[in-house]
Structure formats: C-alpha cells, structure tokens
Amino acid sequence: MTASFQPARVFDFHGKTAVVTGGGNGIGQGVAQALALAGAKVAVFDHDAQAAKATCERIQAQGGEAWPYTVDVTQEAQVTAAMQSFHDHVGHIDILINNAGIAIRRATLELSVADWQKVLDVNLTGVFICARAAARFMVPQQSGCIVNTASIMGLSGGGLYPNISYQSTKGAVVNLTRALAVEWASAKVRVNAIAPTWVRTDFIKPLLAQENLVQRIEAMTPLARLADTEDVVGPILFLCSDAAKMITGHTLPVDGGFLAQ
C-alpha cells in the first residue's frame, strides 16, 4: 500500500470541481449538496432556473460553494457556454454528474414519435452532449471523472408499466458508458454509471399514487424498499472518489438486490 492512500480522506473533495446536470431537484440536488459538503466547487446545471438557484442557495447556507446555470442539456450551445463559463471561473473541471433525465410512461402502441424523441433527446443525446463538453476540458488536463445516470430499467425489461423510450435510453447509457470509458481511458478520464431502483423523488410521484405499486416494488426487491436520494448519493460519491480510481466502464446497480434475483 502506498503512503499516499489515506482511507479517511477518500471522500474529501476539496480542490475538486463538479458539474451536476439536473441538479435542481431530486438525486442531482442531493449529489450537488453532498459534493459541496465534501469540499467541491459545484456548478448546478438545470433548465429550471429557479430550481438551480434554490439548490445553490441550500449549498451556500451549508457553507459550500455553488453556482447556478440555466442549461437545457439538449441544447449544445447552452451546455458548451455554461461549461466554458464554469471552467473560466474555477480553472478546471474534474467531475461531471450526468444526471438530468425524463420519462414519458405510455403504452408503446400509443407513444408518438415526438414523445419517443423527447426522451431520447434528454436521456441520451443530452448525456452525450454534456460528456463531450466536459471531456473537452478533462482530456487535455489528463484527468476527470464522469458518472452517468442509467437505471435498473436500462438493465431489465421492466414489466410493472410501459416505459419503452426510458428503458431504451437507459440501456443505451450503459453502453455509452462502456464505450466512453474505453475511448478516454488513455487520458485518465474515468466514465461510470449508476443504475438506481425507484428513488423517492418528484420523478416517480405519479407512480407512487398508483394503487399497490409501492407494495409490488417492495415485494420484488430483496431489501424490500424503494431508495431514498441519499442511498444513491453515496455510491455516486464513491465512483467519483479515489477509492474507485481503478473502476471505469462500470454500471453500479443501486437497487436493494432487484437485479440480483
């Protein structure tokens, strides 16, 4: 073991900078807060300007440093400009949490191509645009870490309700993660993903209202519960940390054993 490896300091992110997309709510907000609490300077990208600002105000109230950017991840020019502006401000971009995502849960026979495309634009093209924009700084600096947000729905066929565009994009994110990890490994840029189970955020509020759905999910999950935001934040921090410095191209399920069955 080298003297430079200090387990107690693995989750110290002082000196690091991070961009969190979809950081205005839910999982992204939790990760942005956690990274800032751990010392990172954080850029919160969200197309909801008020939500991005609110996350930054929470972080600042906790003594952290964060800046809101109104960014739609599907708009290349907005992403490029915000990434450049944050880089100009802090000098380097070390971490990208590629988290913004949407779902249009509709029976496949009734799903319009326009709705299919909307989900692809955010969940897949947005992930590509943001990864590439961050890597334009990470590759030349020969360091960086990207964590994409997949889902257990990218690793299974679902079954509880139809969600074909979501499942397709999250499956694509798993393989995009592998491919980018291989392409950028020589530049020491690590690319991983997480695949959460259902997480109690606004994203699944309409589902939680469905009769018996929570009970059915619990029955299908060995740990017998849905995830909370902090259940997902810890694994993301792990993937960003030096504890994971030999891990790239991996998708980490955060699923209470759902996929293990």
217-234 burial string, b = 16+ CB within 10 Å, else e? beeebeeeebbebebbbe
Using DSSP's 3-state secondary structure scheme, residue 261 falls into coil
Instruction: Please answer whether residues 174 and 155 qualify as being in contact, where contact means their C-beta atoms are separated by less than 8 angstroms.
Output: yes
Residue 32 found at the interface with ligand NAD (CB under 6 A): no
Rounded distance between C-alpha atoms, residue 203 and residue 48, angstroms: 14
Residue 127 found at the interface with ligand NAD (CB under 6 A): no
Q: Which is nearer to ligand NAD, 180 or 188 (CB)?
A: 180
Copy the structure tokens of residue 48.
Answer: 């909801």
Interface pick for ligand NAD out of 10, 102, 214, 247 (rule CB under 6 A): 102
Binding residues for ligand NAD restricted to 132-191, rule: CB under 6 A: 149, 151
Interface pick for ligand NAD out of 37, 39, 48, 162 (rule CB under 6 A): 48
Q: Which residues contact 60 (CB under 8 A, 6 or more apart)?
A: 66
In terms of DSSP bridges, do strands 17-21 and 144-149 run parallel, antiparallel, or are they unpaired?
A: unpaired
Q: Count of residues binding ligand NAD (CB under 6 A)?
A: 30
- Closest separation in Å from C-beta 5 to ligand NAD: 31
Rounded distance between C-alpha atoms, residue 258 and residue 199, angstroms: 13
Which region, judged by CB under 6 A, interacts with ligand NAD, from 46-54, 81-89, 109-117, 242-250?
Answer: 46-54
**166 tagged catalytic:** yes
Q: 253: which strand partners?
A: 195
For ligand NAD, the binding residues (CB under 6 A) are 21-22, 24-28, 46-48, 51, 71-74, 99-102, 122, 126, 149, 151, 196, 198-199, 201-204
Catalytic residues: 166
